[in-house]
Structure 1
Amino acid sequence: MRVSALLVAVSLIGISPVSAQTAAGPANGNGVPQMVTQTPASALSALFALSDSGNLKRNPIGLLFRGDTSRADYLGEWLTDAAFAAEKKAAEAELNALAGIDRNALTAGEQISYDVFKWQRETDLAGLQPQLLAATAPRPIDHFFGFHNFLAELQSGESAAPFKTLKDYEDALKRSDQFARLLDLAVLRFRQGMQSGVVQPKLVVRNTIDQLNNLTAGGTAKSIMMKPVAAFPDSISPADRTRLTAAYTAMIGDRVNPALLRLRDFLANEYLRVARDLVGLSAMPGGPALYAYLVASNTTTARTPDEIHNIGLSEVARILNGMDEVQKRVGFKGDRKAFFEHLRTDTRFKFASAQAMGDAFRTTGKQVDGVVGRLFDTLPKTALEIRPVPPHREKTDAAGSYQGGTPDGSRPGIFYYNAYDLPSRSNYGVETLYLHEAVPGHHFQISLAQENDKLPAFQRFGGNTAFAEGWALYAESLGPELGMFSDPYQLMGRYDDEMLRAMRLVVDTGIHSKGWGRDQSIEYMLANSSMSRTDATAEVERYIAIPGQALAYKIGQLTISRLRAKAQTALGPKFDIKRFHAQVLMTGALPMAVLEAKIDRWIASGGQAPSQ
């Protein structure tokens, strides 16, 4: 469960629902505060500002991802009952404050912000109720979103935390000490779950153990957290280099690695034997209620698991027809199963090396950069880098992923490609994966939101999975308009990736609401796509680790595609694709109902309404 911490000051709890309010302004010449009128718009802005500052005060790691190192020595309080209670109090306070603001007195753009904020805080509050916390807090780590990986990478010099100044190095030492304490706290949470029966599946535990082994393999010297002291900037003096190298060696060798090993040994020697054999949430106390929440929060809709499962089956059938057309176009003789096996195994579809894989994405990027202006008026200022997935997590990572840059451009966005088990990776998926993870997918959506300083911080830096992943999947569909997929095999790659997202609707709901097992789910994916067993296994184990998240892609994409078709039909020759994309992107990640209402207003304006 992702908990966003948007905190409001206690003084806002009692805001009354009137169209204009008063607040204490600057003192006059006699030192007496003057009363100033606070409009609904200014009250909303004040709520958003206080919420964001409170969030960052309690979760200062968020500052690092915005390029602010002022509190880089502190991770914040994680995993404790006090932390969860504070989150709940904050959400309740903010919703009370929001209810005191007259929505009807706001502009259209302000109403969007109001609605997004309301949806997010209500969703967060629902996830913080005792029943759901009892099913989530005792499972603090998994192999997909585990903080053991996240914080180790943060300390590596290759993530959001900079290592440019002496303060940066000193701050990282303090974070490492807190990291070690968090690892021990995770063990206590796991023990709590052992008592209540709320435990991870065995395969999640085994994968996590593998990751912990990878993080500690080679001892202190080869730890990724030691990389910063192997690459000091010129600004660090020789004396400080010597001192810091010793301090990092002691911190990683005596504090962090032992904590990682304690967690590993606990999982291997105590926890694994009581972990679940059944992989679905339905097999766990509180699991069905948790899955219902995860479906709603990830898709931002009220669709049931059964409805989503059936949508998935329908989409799988549609995409199979497209794949059959590609098979005819290339003249392959044999049935669909043989065609899939041909795509999996023929050496013409393999990369010669990991370097060649990266070069293929870079070549595609140059092609897309040259034409993307056909569909977008506003392009991100944030640079994009293309890198391989770090070795310690490549085995369980997705084929591609994206990490956002900073709004000021000081850190680029990063598209990570996965070269693990290179023979299982297919080169006909290059174009569609680049469109999804990079341009105009995640890099556009995340960067354009962050760079838009007219938006409240929660819209710039927050969001929801259905919008973010739905946009990225929609971005794949723009390939033909950008000159992509002229090669029928690259078109097959497009169908294969869309099929993956359709199968997720079937498999995720199958696992967590219909009793499907791991092997059954893998075989279903292999039967309906040309993906390798390595990829299918990683995907299924991902759905087991983070239920519901994989549903967001297709549900979001179907919504955006439907809204585009709706606008094209309604506006006819007045439809402008650049303006449509601005409507979708320039107000941050919106819940699906809020997005649809916005597009409906744009259509009613004749396609002329501003994007925010």
Structure 2
Amino acid sequence: MIKKAFKWIVFLFLTLLIIAGAFASHEWYADKPVFLRSLLDRSMIKVAFESPETLTSLGFLESVGIKNHNANLDNDSPEKADELFALMKQVKTGIKNFPNEELNKADKLSKEIALYLLDFGDELERFRYHNYPVNQLFGIQNGYPSFMDAQHQVNTVEDAENYISRLSKVKTKFKQNLQGLKIRENKGIIPPAFVIDRVLKEMTTFVAQPIEDNILYSSLKSKMEKAQEISAQEQSRILADVKIQMKKSVHPAYQILIDYFIALKPKANTDDGFWRLPQGEEAYASSLKFFTTTDYTPDEIHEMGLAEVVRIQSEILTILSEQNIATEQGFTQAIETLKEREEFYYPDTTAGRDQILADYQTILDEINAGLDLAFRIRPKAGMKVRRIPEFKEKTAPGAYYQQPSIDGSRPGMFFANLYDIKATPKYSMRTLAYHEGIPGHHFQIAIAMELEGMPLFRRMSPFTAYTEGWALYAEYLAWELGFESDPFDNIGRLQAELFRAVRLVVDTGLHHKRWTREESIQYMLANTGMALTDVTSEIERYIVMPGQATSYKVGMMKILALREKAKKALGKQFTLRDFHDVVLKNGAVPLNILERLVNQYIERLQKIAKS
């Protein structure tokens, strides 16, 4: 299905432009093409073709022998961003040229979602510099090597030469990013001091290590060794060129940012929330609206979180008591008692970490084979487990998901953080695998990418409340379906839900109620029982990604509320398969639109029952 979608996109707008003549040319160039989808898809394609890194990540051009984009990197300059914002305004004008009465039901929905995003683009432009693009979690300093390792495929000498070309151009890319950093500095948008400390340590360590140990060198070496078309002589020549570019381009690029942050550090302070920035309160409210796709205020979200923390802790304490773990001294002590049991941990060795990855894969394979009664629609793309690269795992989240390539040649990836073995108790593994993998992110994202007849942008819509809400809902669903029959696994699930409820409290606490980093860490420690290393990473994540962490619980609660509404309205007519079809077959959508889709599904079945 992915390949069919790829053929429609590429051949309709590229090949047919040459073969079919006037009509295809009209669809590509006209202010108002015949089909709304033509406008939406060509806009996405134009943006994608301006981004060599996006084309590499999508992976569809390689299947027809086009690889020249793999020699280039994205233009990260502020001027290029200006062009993108201008294009968004043009696209919005073009979409409004299609009256609703000219559109079918599917196109009306696409129009509504597109305008929702584009309208928010105006808000995004207003606060475009209210962020910290180089931070301890993400940014060019770790995003670039991660991209080269995970996305740049090397099967031929040409692929390797393109890899070297990208190494040679990284200095320009870093300078472009520096432009944006200086604009933020002039506006008074400076990262907290701890962020600067983290990125300086990360970058100086990256530059100081021997080239042969650097991921940019070792990753290419490993890929070439696995490739069948690259001789040993060619490999030696290419690796010699890599060393040259590491010294000539890569290390100097990193030094540019190292020098900048050293000079910036005296201007930073220890205040962490967005409230301290110019227009910070407005920027945070905008961020909450974008990530939750609701109009909830920071205070409403904060109170929601406090209530959920009390409820979930009570459920956990009940189970712990049933398992003969003392709870008289309170939640934190009970969790500490649980955490001290050695049988819940793997050996702190390479073999132990290898076993964790193998067990994650077993968990995913098991649930994938047992979901037929709950799901009619399933992704075609496969699912693999990998370790988060060691060079960045110390400050990385506990896990994350990477989407498959659009042509199906690269499976979806579940990346697990194995830095702290105590942060991976066995009773938490199932829940994490269900969230990041199956039936969580992998189902939702891979299915959306594979949907036929849907505009390209809707297969990749950035509605976090939907995508993360679905993944958290998937944890709950897996427990409902019996995949966490062990009571300790259920504690792991409830701890994960508690973790997301606490996020509602600390995110709004940091950015609205002016909590300090240390106050937030203490609240999360006291109310989750998580390891200090994980809590610290999480709080620091919320500081550099304001609002994002609230989307999980808000989205989950909405999906569960809609499911309960459908159950009550439909009675025996209700099935999980039907409900999941409604939720998944439209791709990611704002929560208010999801509610309307569920209401329409309810009305449709009620009419059938009456007829």
Q: What is the TM-score normalised by the length of structure 1?
A: 0.89
SS at match of 1:528: helix
Tell me which amino acid in the other structure corresponds to 1:516: W
1:93 aligns with 2:86: no
> Does the 8 A contact of 1:470 with 1:560 survive in 2?
yes
Partner of 2:113: 116
Deviation digits for residues 385-412 of structure 1, max 9, x if unmatched?
1111110111111111110111322101
Match runs of 1:195-206 below 5 Å: 195-206=186-197
Kindly tell me: are residues 229 and 209 of structure 1, through their superposed partners in 2, closer, same or farther at Cα, counting changes over 3 Å?
same
Give, in whole Å, the separation in 2 of the partners of 1:534 and 1:402: 21
> Does the 8 A contact of 1:382 with 1:405 survive in 2?
yes
Give, in whole Å, the separation in 2 of the partners of 1:513 and 1:236: 56
SS at match of 1:420: coil
- Among 118, 133, 139, the residue aligned to 1:146: 139
Which moves more between the two structures, 87-96 or 366-375? 366-375
1:54 aligns with 2:46: yes
1:244 aligns with 2:231: no
Match runs of 1:438-477 below 5 Å: 438-477=437-476
Partner of 1:569: 568
Partner of 1:125: 122
Partner of 1:6: none
SS at match of 2:128: helix
Write 1 or 2 for the structure with the bigger share of helix: 2
SS at match of 1:531: coil
Deviation at 1:27, TM superposition (A): 5.8
Deviation digits for residues 251-301 of structure 1, max 9, x if unmatched?
11221022213322432x212221231000111223222211111111111
Deviation at 1:552, TM superposition (A): 0.9
- CA RMSD, Structure 1 to Structure 2 (Å): 2.3
Give, in whole Å, the separation in 2 of the partners of 1:524 and 1:104: 53
Give, in whole Å, the separation in 2 of the partners of 1:508 and 1:608: 44
Partner of 2:345: 350
Deviation at 1:184, TM superposition (A): 2.8
Tell me which amino acid in the other structure corresponds to 1:105: E
Partner of 1:76: 74
1:135 aligns with 2:107: no
> Does the 8 A contact of 1:567 with 1:575 survive in 2?
yes
SS at match of 2:213: coil
Give, in whole Å, the separation in 2 of the partners of 1:606 and 1:245: 63
1:600 aligns with 2:599: yes
Match runs of 1:579-598 below 5 Å: 579-598=578-597
Give, in whole Å, the separation in 2 of the partners of 1:425 and 1:238: 40
Deviation at 1:214, TM superposition (A): 4.0
1:325 aligns with 2:322: no
> Does the 8 A contact of 2:517 with 2:540 survive in 1?
yes
Mark the runs of 5 or more structure 2 residues left unpaired by the alignment: 1-19
> Does the 8 A contact of 2:75 with 2:173 survive in 1?
no
> Does the 8 A contact of 1:576 with 1:607 survive in 2?
no
Deviation at 1:101, TM superposition (A): 0.7
Partner of 1:559: 558
> Does the 8 A contact of 1:214 with 1:392 survive in 2?
no
Instruction: State the structure with bigger RCO (CA 8 A, min sep 6), 1 or 2.
Output: 2
Deviation at 1:506, TM superposition (A): 0.6
Deviation at 1:317, TM superposition (A): 1.4
Partner of 2:247: 253
Which moves more between the two structures, 371-380 or 328-337? 328-337
1:490 aligns with 2:489: yes
Which moves more between the two structures, 334-343 or 400-409? 334-343
Partner of 2:99: 102
Give, in whole Å, the separation in 2 of the partners of 1:192 and 1:470: 34
Partner of 1:404: 403
Partner of 1:535: 534
Kindly tell me: are residues 109 and 214 of structure 1, through their superposed partners in 2, closer, same or farther at Cα, counting changes over 3 Å?
farther
Deviation at 1:607, TM superposition (A): 7.1
Kindly tell me: are residues 608 and 582 of structure 1, through their superposed partners in 2, closer, same or farther at Cα, counting changes over 3 Å?
farther
Match runs of 1:172-571 below 5 Å: 172-226=163-217, 227-232=219-224, 233-267=227-261, 269-333=262-326, 334-335=328-329, 336-352=331-347, 353-571=352-570
Which moves more between the two structures, 350-359 or 438-447? 350-359
> Does the 8 A contact of 1:143 with 1:207 survive in 2?
yes
Give, in whole Å, the separation in 2 of the partners of 1:62 and 1:101: 29
Mark the runs of 5 or more structure 1 residues left unpaired by the alignment: 1-24
Give, in whole Å, the separation in 2 of the partners of 1:548 and 1:229: 40
Deviation digits for residues 146-179 of structure 1, max 9, x if unmatched?
12211111222xx122111222222222222332
SS at match of 2:385: strand
Q: What is the TM-score normalised by the length of structure 2?
A: 0.89
SS at match of 2:414: strand
Kindly tell me: are residues 351 and 84 of structure 1, through their superposed partners in 2, closer, same or farther at Cα, counting changes over 3 Å?
same
Which moves more between the two structures, 96-105 or 565-574? 96-105
Deviation at 1:470, TM superposition (A): 0.7
Deviation digits for residues 497-523 of structure 1, max 9, x if unmatched?
001111111100100011011111111
Give, in whole Å, the separation in 1 of the partners of 2:428 and 2:514: 31
Deviation at 1:34, TM superposition (A): 11
> Does the 8 A contact of 1:316 with 1:503 survive in 2?
yes
Deviation digits for residues 43-82 of structure 1, max 9, x if unmatched?
311211221121112223211121134422222211x231
